[in-house]
Amino acid sequence: MDKIKEAADLILKSKKVFALTGAGISTDSGIPDFRSSTGYYSKMDPALALSKDRLLNHPEIFYKEGYKILEDLNDQEPNGGHKALAKLEKLGYLSGIITQNIDNLHAKAGSKNIYEVHGETRGTHCMKCGKEYPFAVMREKVEKGEIPPKCDECGGTIRPNVVMFGDMMPDDFERGARELDNTDTLIVVGSSLTVSPVNFLPNYVDHLIIINNDPTPMDRQADVVIHENSTIVLQEILKEIESRK
């Protein structure tokens, strides 16, 4: 496919390449994306289900709805797309990943330099004393009916390390944005590029590769646009790059 070769050409001639990933890269891992007709939010309002207000003021509802999404994400495994990006980083062609995803799959696939701009579901922390716990501890407490789950040290409320609606963006967002200041090419994978402030990040770079099933608002500005399955496309790009070594 010519577009695969074009993408590989651009990656190989760039001094610094980063990836920006959204929910679409994880659908082949069995995770429905967040905004399609079959996605997580087709049955609930995300601004409520995963909101800071509901977490703090209506925990009994949060742990029936929003928490179930986080629990599901915590149990999935990376697919060939995640692994292809990890291999590109290992080979020195990719400097890192900025991800909107909270599913931990880039880390599980072996990627090292990851900026999780919406948080992650590996851990939790006490909102009072800051003590950190693995997600499994929260799960155990919730299964025992401890809602909201409490800190063993100070009795404060334990919450997931996920950016809820109403939360401030984490340091990873600013750090990731700074990485793009001297990045030549950004590979956007599986993102609709409709969620702020992440959708502004492609404006930081000179060259764009967009891999997404559906059109995005940035398609016109991209050097290469591929509207196909991201797992297959990333594996093909990796294969093309490896064939030129």
pLDDT tens readout for residues 48-72: 888 999 999 999 999 988 898 888 8
Evaluate if residue 77 carries a pLDDT over 60: yes
**The pLDDT of residue 6:** 97
**Tens digit of pLDDT for each residue in 112-151?**
999 999 999 999 999 999 999 999 999 999 999 999 999 9
Which residues lie below 8 Å from residue 97, measured CB to CB, with a gap of 6+? 18, 19, 20, 21, 85, 89, 106, 111, 113, 114, 115
**Which residues are part of the catalytic machinery?**
118
CA distances (Å), origin 105, targets 77, 82, 111, 193, 216: 6, 7, 9, 20, 23
Residues of the chain with CATH 3.30.1600.10: 32-75+120-162
Residues of the chain with CATH 3.40.50.1220: 1-30+78-118+168-245
Binding residues: 126, 129, 151, 154
**CATH H-level superfamily of 1-30+78-118+168-245:** TPP-binding domain (3.40.50.1220)
**The pLDDT of residue 35:** 54
Evaluate if residue 13 carries a pLDDT over 80: yes
Binding residues for Zn(2+): 126, 129, 151, 154
CA distances (Å), origin 92, targets 106, 132, 166, 204, 217: 16, 33, 37, 21, 30
Evaluate if residue 33 carries a pLDDT over 70: no
pTM (two decimals):
0.91
- Sign of the torsion angle spanned by Cα atoms 128, 129, 131, 137: negative
**The pLDDT of residue 132:** 97
CATH class of 32-75+120-162: alpha beta
Interval 153-182 mean pLDDT: 95
